[in-house]
Chains A and B, each alone.
Chain A
Amino acid sequence: MGTTSMNNTEDPELGEAGAQLSTAPVETAADRTPGGPTLGVIGWARWFWRQLTSMRVALILLFLLSLGAIPGSLIPQNSVDEMKVQAFRDRHETLAPLYDKLQFFDVYSSVWFSAVYILLFVSLIGCIVPRSWQFVGQLRSRPPGAPGRLTRLPAYTTWRTAAEPEEVREAALTMLRGRRFRAHGVGDAVAAEKGYLREAGNLVFHVSLIVMLIAFAWGQLFKSEGGKLVVEGGGFSNTLTQYDDFKSGSLFGTDELTPFSFTLDSFTGTYARSGPQRGTPRTYEAALTWSTPGSADRKQVVEVNRPLEVDGTKVYLNGHGYAPVVTVRDGKGDVVFQDAVPLLPIDNNVTSTGAIKVMDGYRDKNGKKDQLGFQAFFVPTFAGAGKGDMFSQFPGLEFPVLALTGYHGSLGVDAGLPQNVYQLDTRKMKQFKGADGEVLKQRLLPGETMQLPDGAGSITFEKDVKEWATFQITRQPATGWALTGAVAAIGGLAASLFIRRRRVWVRAVRGEDGVTVVEMAGLGRSESAKLPEELTDLALTLHAQAPTAPGETEEPDVPAEGAQQ
């Protein structure tokens, strides 16, 4: 069957029958060209507004929006990872200033990207408001009367019956209303319509888009987000200085940080011990004690997908690792450093690296001030001596080994530049050498000590290995609104795409020979195979009450299909 995607509502021959079957704006040639020679300011403004709220411009803006989003996925973004942006700047010295000018490092908050979506949403509002009024009008008016020739409609049937025309119309009205059509009698026919929810759904969908956008923008402007590494026993209180790193929206004020604090009592990671999944984490749990000013301490366990929530601020657990406790002594045996040193994991089995820095308090054997640095390599589960490399075999703490090499000299921390605490800047340091002249390197078991050469002191790997956890502390207002908008958008979309809006007419008139002729026809907003099915069903129901007149078969002599213009 030759079918088409064309909206039936645009068939000029149907006249009023297809009018107001939707609220989509109809584009006319006049919309496209500014009309008349005497187009004043108001005329232009009007023309511009009509352009902006036309479907064609909406389409173009949608294109621009997706096009504009592309650079942000290919070029590193400040909002995602500033380190990567910096790396990019270092690599592309000529390109970077150009990108800066084009705001390519901040695509999603750039002037041009904002312009596109703001225009789109102005267009959307300008489109929704009149469409809503129109829809309300449609709800209050009644379906238009039957067109003159029902045979021109996409689905049609007819038969002759002995029942009176009034009876047939009455039966049709009852039947259609029973099937939740809005139906009324106009002249010699009954007009009915169904599926208004389609339009309602479409409007809900577009309104939800606006709700989502506002909620998202609000969340972006007022959000705050920062990370903090806490070793077991350590704590955090929610002020700016306590964060390891911090980002916030442009309208965020520091007084908006929810006042609260917590301490990490313990971190527990358990792992599958055997089977194909060996080593796979089973649980990550951070036991916190937290409080807000003026309230008692409370306890809560935070897991990976289960944050602690304090008054709109969420504390997510998003990383963990080990912090071996080490003690450094000087040549005289005095303790100059004792702390748990967090090391960063480099693989799934938590092989970790990091640096131990002794900044002050240390004097060498001559009593001169010096600084010590150690490069540390840690595995929670060692493969066993002679079994090759220092890679952990299991993420749990089963056979911890700490490997160290030491340096002395200047750590370079006084230069005023911020320094990565996990890396050792050895440019101004000298590596300790063993008696054999080889680099001093040692693997320590818990409790073991590495002696530094020439009475420079010692470093001890204590029996205590602490764990640390990183937390992400975020506050993003209006999340609830975004979710509500999203759910409404899906609902509206489904209604808009799956509900068919259609009209049915039933005409019953006395024919020239005195026998009643029943004609039924259906029209949908867009052509659908369901329409004839539904019409058949309706016709059969009506036919049961107004059966074919005795001595007749109905066989409408219409071309079966393919009536051409």
Chain B
Amino acid sequence: MTLAAATNEGLAEISNYLIYSSMAVYTLAFFAHMAEWLFGSRSKVARTAAALTAPKEAAAAAPAVTVRTAGGTTVLDKPKVVTRAAAGTRDVPDGPGAHGGTEKGDLYGRIAVSLTALAFLLEASGVIARAVSVQRAPWGNMYEFSTTFSTVVVGVYLALLLAGKNVRWAGLPLVTTVLLDLGLAVTVLYTKSDQLVPALDSYWLWIHVSTAIFCGAVFYLGAVGSILYLFRDSYEAKLASGGRPGRFATSVMERLPAAASLDKFAYRVNAAVFPLWTFTIIAGAIWAGDAWGRYWGWDAKEVWSFITWVAYAAYLHARATAGWKGRKAAYIALVAFLCFLWNYYGVNMFVNSLHSYAGV
């Protein structure tokens, strides 16, 4: 009925092969990460426990500032800044990462990251091939959304790694969910390459949808941070109250960054992308104003974007309110991300919305 047959099938096919190859490589990366966790050392187990059960008086006295003289030599050293954690918080060192500080684990970890990078290149090429085959932005249906989404998630993760951020701990959960996402995409959501309805033909499509996908990817990283934070925080709380977590929990948790670091990571990531998310919604409203003659009409997709926005605003607020920081704030962040996911998948599949792309 449509002219899908006429679309550039060769390229579309290549795109499919690329996506499948990326899945294969992601699978290898998954196993490499597993090896990193399995062969990584468990010997550093005591770090957190030690930090939390150290005698409390140790630092109670104010540190005296004495300046030592270095035996007559003129050493024009530079002033060194020392830092100090705020009052009332656990002061726990970050874990060494999945490899647990061993060389063998680290090697597997590096292999995993390299494989992830390779898979990312394959997947990104697949998305681009798809875009070229239909001569439009590759965001016309759920299959294309999902593949683009996971590409961007991995892209952001790799970019953070390149920027020297301590995020390698996110590798395993990330690769696992990317595999799930792609699995879902190629089986349930797969749609043959097809053209787009032209009401979407506006540069606002590029702006609005690309920022939405990017925000989703970053929010996802934040959510991973929040979930791990919740686990790690319980672990630390248990240790601090004299509890004795199980061996498995200890082995896993000891390698993660400190709860405070994870919490801060989640906050940073969410806060950094929140203005962009605000912009995404406004860009959508402007586009709706151009295309449908009203900038806000309480369409299901609009409603859920709004709910997601309010939920993230609540999260940022919670962080400023005593009594809501920490775990409660993390729960709000997770609810906010669930709202985002629902808007992405749920509204498309289960709710009647103008955004199902019909019209002129």
Q: B81, B94, B201, B298 — which one has the most chain A CB atoms within 10 A of its CB? A: B81
Contact yes or no, B89 A4, CB < 8 A: yes
In whole Å, how far is B160's beta carbon from the nearest beta carbon of chain A? 15
Residue in contact with A58 in the complex, picked from B278, B279, B317, CB distance below 8 Å: B317
Report whether over half of chain A's contact residues are helix, strand or loop; otherwise say mixed. mixed
B183 at the interface (CB under 8 A from A): no
Query: Contacts A80-B297, A564-B59 known; A556 to B80 CB distance under 8 Å?
Result: yes
Contact yes or no, B81 A276, CB < 8 A: no
Chain B 47-65: CB-based contact to A (< 8 A → 1; otherwise 0): 0000100101011101111
Question: With the chains together, A557 CA to B64 CA distance in Å?
Answer: 7
Contact yes or no, B6 A559, CB < 8 A: no
Residue in contact with A276 in the complex, picked from B7, B54, B69, B84, CB distance below 8 Å: B7
- Chain A residue nearest to B75 (CB atoms) is A553
Q: Which residues of chain A come closer than 8 Å to B292, judged between CB atoms?
A: 316, 318, 472
A493 at the interface (CB under 8 A from B): yes
Residue in contact with B275 in the complex, picked from A74, A319, A347, A493, CB distance below 8 Å: A493
Contact yes or no, A474 B282, CB < 8 A: no
Q: Which residues of chain B come closer than 8 Å to A314, judged between CB atoms?
A: 293
Tell me the B24-81 residues at the A interface (CB within 8 Å).
51, 54, 56, 58-60, 62-70, 72-81
B189 at the interface (CB under 8 A from A): no
Q: Which residues of chain B come closer than 8 Å to A561, judged between CB atoms?
A: 82-85, 91
Contact yes or no, A73 B313, CB < 8 A: no
In whole Å, how far is B200's beta carbon from the nearest beta carbon of chain A? 10
Residue in contact with B77 in the complex, picked from A56, A107, A158, A553, CB distance below 8 Å: A553
B110 at the interface (CB under 8 A from A): no
Q: Which residues of chain B come closer than 8 Å to A280, judged between CB atoms?
A: 195-196, 198
Contact yes or no, B63 A151, CB < 8 A: yes
Q: Give the interface segment out of B97-105, B119-127, B212-220, B283-291.
A: B283-291
Query: Contacts A156-B84, A494-B275 known; A565 to B60 CB distance under 8 Å?
Result: yes
Q: Which residues of chain B come closer than 8 Å to A439, judged between CB atoms?
A: none
B14 at the interface (CB under 8 A from A): no
Q: Which residues of chain A come closer than 8 Å to B263, judged between CB atoms?
A: 5
Q: A24, A155, A562 — which one has the most chain B CB atoms within 10 A of its CB? A: A562
Number of A-B contacts (CB under 8 A): 308
A479 at the interface (CB under 8 A from B): yes
Question: With the chains together, A482 CA to B294 CA distance in Å?
Answer: 12
Contact yes or no, B51 A543, CB < 8 A: no
Contact yes or no, B264 A10, CB < 8 A: no
Question: With the chains together, A65 CA to B310 CA distance in Å?
Answer: 8
Q: Which residues of chain B come closer than 8 Å to A482, judged between CB atoms?
A: 295
Tell me the A141-168 residues at the B interface (CB within 8 Å).
149, 151-160
A178 at the interface (CB under 8 A from B): no
Question: With the chains together, A279 CA to B93 CA distance in Å?
Answer: 62
Chain A 206-225: CB-based contact to B (< 8 A → 1; otherwise 0): 00000000001000000101
Contact yes or no, B68 A27, CB < 8 A: no
- Chain B residue nearest to A148 (CB atoms) is B62
Contact yes or no, B360 A304, CB < 8 A: yes
Q: Which residues of chain B come closer than 8 Å to A70, judged between CB atoms?
A: 303, 307
Q: Give the interface segment out of A291-299, A333-341, A533-541.
A: A533-541
Contact yes or no, A479 B295, CB < 8 A: yes
Q: Which residues of chain B come closer than 8 Å to A349, judged between CB atoms?
A: 1-2
In whole Å, how far is B32's beta carbon from the nearest beta carbon of chain A? 29
- Chain B residue nearest to A13 (CB atoms) is B87
Chain A 248-289: CB-based contact to B (< 8 A → 1; otherwise 0): 000000000000000000000000000111111100100000
Question: With the chains together, A169 CA to B339 CA distance in Å?
Answer: 53
Contact yes or no, A555 B67, CB < 8 A: yes
Chain B 311-330: CB-based contact to A (< 8 A → 1; otherwise 0): 10110111111111110000
Contact yes or no, A304 B303, CB < 8 A: no
Report whether over half of chain B's contact residues are helix, strand or loop; otherwise say mixed. loop
Query: Contacts A66-B310, A72-B298, A559-B63 known; A155 to B82 CB distance under 8 Å?
Result: yes
Residue in contact with A8 in the complex, picked from B86, B261, B319, B323, CB distance below 8 Å: B86
A369 at the interface (CB under 8 A from B): no
Contact yes or no, A532 B83, CB < 8 A: yes
- Chain A residue nearest to B290 (CB atoms) is A305
B186 at the interface (CB under 8 A from A): no
Residue in contact with A2 in the complex, picked from B58, B92, B275, CB distance below 8 Å: B92
A82 at the interface (CB under 8 A from B): no
B207 at the interface (CB under 8 A from A): no
Contact yes or no, B325 A5, CB < 8 A: yes
Q: Which residues of chain A come closer than 8 Å to B72, judged between CB atoms?
A: 551
Residue in contact with B65 in the complex, picked from A77, A84, A497, A519, CB distance below 8 Å: A519
Contact yes or no, A517 B272, CB < 8 A: no
B347 at the interface (CB under 8 A from A): yes
- Chain B residue nearest to A489 (CB atoms) is B278
Query: Contacts A13-B87, A149-B62, A316-B293 known; A5 to B267 CB distance under 8 Å?
Result: yes
Q: Which residues of chain A come closer than 8 Å to B134, judged between CB atoms?
A: 276
Q: List 13 A-B contacts (CB under 8 A).
A: A66-B306, A79-B297, A157-B80, A305-B290, A486-B282, A490-B278, A493-B278, A497-B272, A539-B79, A540-B78, A548-B79, A555-B77, A562-B84
Assuming A149-B62, A558-B63, what are 9 further A-B pairs, CB within 8 angstroms? A10-B322, A73-B300, A304-B201, A318-B292, A391-B1, A493-B274, A494-B275, A557-B63, A557-B68
Interface residues of A (CB under 8 A from B): 1-8, 10-13, 24, 26-27, 55-56, 58-59, 62-63, 65-66, 69-70, 72-74, 77, 79-80, 84, 107-108, 149, 151-160, 216, 223, 225, 275-281, 284, 304-305, 307, 314, 316-320, 347-349, 391, 472, 474, 476, 479, 482-483, 486-487, 489-490, 493-494, 497-498, 517, 519-520, 527, 531-532, 535-536, 539-540, 543, 547-548, 550-565
